[in-house]
């Protein structure tokens, strides 16, 4: 009975995987991200979670097909099995199924992207300029005057202040090459392009400090393009703007 051992082994492996998955469900929720942090991640998290679940289903199905073939169709003797050149229904199925998967993922992504990038001019309370420079960031606060510009360096990464619960509009540019403005915790990523101004509106919904970085390979010191995001109360944000004003006068 040569097929007995591998079958038991496959069942044992499947059992262990299922046990691990069920026991870890608490930590697996949201797959590494927190909910309620920002207006963007509240939109993105369901898509993120369902994409992982869809990937798990596709992965399990594929693994089952591979296991079935390798367990039940192992070489039993020296006889060459029936040789098949093609199987039209199978080939149509494995062309159409991935196309449907990609189309569904694309549609849900496009719907969420439209929600995230839709401007809400009446709700926006603040405007902040984000300029990528080789190799750091400049944060521009026009509310605090024309010269309210915070420039970071690799040795002294800048801090981006954001007011809690108030919608901010970012105007993103670059003065040299393509950079990627990325705040992982908030699930925000948008490119800084030379000669183009990109916009993103966003509300931070949790006080605290969060790391930010550049995620476009932009040159030798790309990895040093880090910054800190500090979400403060609206009153603290106003007093920060006042300190920026005071520095200029
Ligand atoms: Cu960069």
Tens-level pLDDT at each residue, the chain (249 residues): 344 455 565 566 655 555 555 555 544 567 888 888 999 998 999 999 999 999 999 999 999 999 999 999 888 888 888 888 899 999 999 999 999 999 999 999 999 999 999 998 889 999 999 999 999 999 999 999 888 999 999 999 999 999 999 999 999 999 999 999 999 999 999 999 999 999 999 999 999 999 999 999 999 999 999 999 999 999 999 999 999 998 876
d(CA 237, CA 143): 11
d(CA 155, CA 136): 9
- Distance (angstroms) between ligand 1 centre and the Cα of 173 equals 11
- Distance (angstroms) between ligand 1 centre and the Cα of 98 equals 34
H or E element at residue 171 = strand 168-174
- Distance (angstroms) between ligand 1 centre and the Cα of 180 equals 6
- Distance (angstroms) between ligand 1 centre and the Cα of 172 equals 13
Going from the C-alpha of 194 to that of each of 152, 175, 177, 205, the distances in angstroms are 19, 6, 6, 30
d(CA 224, CA 156): 10
- Distance (angstroms) between ligand 1 centre and the Cα of 45 equals 26
Please list the residue range(s) of the chain that carry CATH number 2.60.40.420.
126-248
d(CA 42, CA 112): 10
- Distance (angstroms) between ligand 1 centre and the Cα of 42 equals 27
- Distance (angstroms) between ligand 1 centre and the Cα of 24 equals 36
Please list the residue range(s) of the chain that carry CATH number 1.10.287.90.
4-117
The reported pLDDT for the residue numbered 248 is 75
The reported pLDDT for the residue numbered 3 is 44
Q: Give Cβ neighbours of residue 79 (< 8 Å, ≥ 6 apart).
A: none
* DSSP code, position 38: B
- Distance (angstroms) between ligand 1 centre and the Cα of 181 equals 8
- Distance (angstroms) between ligand 1 centre and the Cα of 222 equals 5
The reported pLDDT for the residue numbered 28 is 59
Best CATH choice for the domain 126-248 from the list 3.40.50.1000, 2.60.40.420, 3.10.450.50, 2.60.40.1730 = 2.60.40.420
- Distance (angstroms) between ligand 1 centre and the Cα of 234 equals 29
The reported pLDDT for the residue numbered 9 is 59
Taking a 5 Å cut-off on Cβ, the residues next to ion ligand 1 are 179, 214, 218, 225
The reported pLDDT for the residue numbered 27 is 45
pTM of the full structure: 0.79
Domain covering 4-117: architecture: Orthogonal Bundle (1.10)
d(CA 189, CA 166): 19
- Distance (angstroms) between ligand 1 centre and the Cα of 219 equals 7
């Amino acid at each position: 009975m040569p097929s007995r051992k591998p079958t038991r082994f496959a069942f044992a492996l499947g059992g262990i995987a299922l046990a691990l998955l069920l026991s870890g469900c608490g930590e697996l929720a949201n797959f590494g991200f927190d909910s309620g942090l920002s207006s963007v991640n509240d939109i993105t998290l369901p898509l993120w979670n369902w994409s992982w679940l869809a990937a798990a289903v596709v992965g399990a199905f594929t693994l089952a097909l591979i296991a079935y073939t390798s367990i039940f169709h192992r070489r039993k003797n020296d006889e060459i099995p029936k040789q098949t050149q093609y199987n039209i229904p199978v080939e149509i199925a494995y062309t159409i199924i991935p196309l449907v998967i990609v189309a569904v993922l694309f549609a849900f992504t496009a719907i969420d992207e439209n929600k995230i990038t839709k401007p809400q001019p009446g709700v926006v309370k603040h405007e902040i300029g984000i300029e990528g420079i080789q190799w750091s960031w400049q944060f521009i606060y026009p509310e605090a005057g024309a010269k309210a510009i915070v420039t970071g360096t690799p040795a002294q990464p800048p801090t981006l202040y954001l007011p809690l619960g108030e919608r901010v509009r970012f105007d993103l540019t670059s003065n040299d090459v393509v950079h990627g403005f990325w705040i992982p915790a908030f699930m925000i990523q948008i490119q800084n392009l030379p000669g183009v101004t990109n916009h993103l509106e966003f509300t931070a919904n949790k006080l605290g400090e969060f790391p930010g970085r550049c995620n476009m390979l932009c040159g030798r010191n790309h990895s040093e393009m880090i910054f800190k995001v500090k979400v403060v109360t609206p009153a603290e944000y106003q007093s920060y703007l006042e300190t920026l004003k005071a520095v200029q006068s």
